[in-house]
Amino acid sequence: MKRVIVVRKGEKIKTTSLNGIRLDLLLKTDVLEAVLDIFEPGASVGTPYKHVGQEVHILLKGEIEFEIEDHKYLAKEGDVVCFSSILPHKTRNPGKEKAIVFSVAVPPTFM
Residue 17 CA to residue 24 CA, distance in Å, equals: 9
Q: Tell me what pLDDT residue 103 has.
A: 97
Q: Tell me what pLDDT residue 35 has.
A: 96
**pLDDT tens, residue by residue, 16-60:** 999 999 999 999 999 999 999 999 999 998 899 999 999 999 999
**pLDDT tens, residue by residue, 84-94:** 999 999 999 99
Residue 19 CA to residue 107 CA, distance in Å, equals: 25
Residues in CB range of 3: below 8 A, 6 or more apart: none
Domains and CATH numbers, the chain: 14-106 (2.60.120.10)
Q: What percent of the chain is modeled with pLDDT above 70? A: 98
Is the separation of the CB atoms in 56 and 19 below 8 Å?
A: no
Give the count of beta carbons closer than 10 Å to the beta carbon of residue 54. Answer: 14
Over the range 12-31, which residues count as b (16 or more CB within 10 Å of their CB) and which as e? eeeeeeeeebbbbbbbbeee
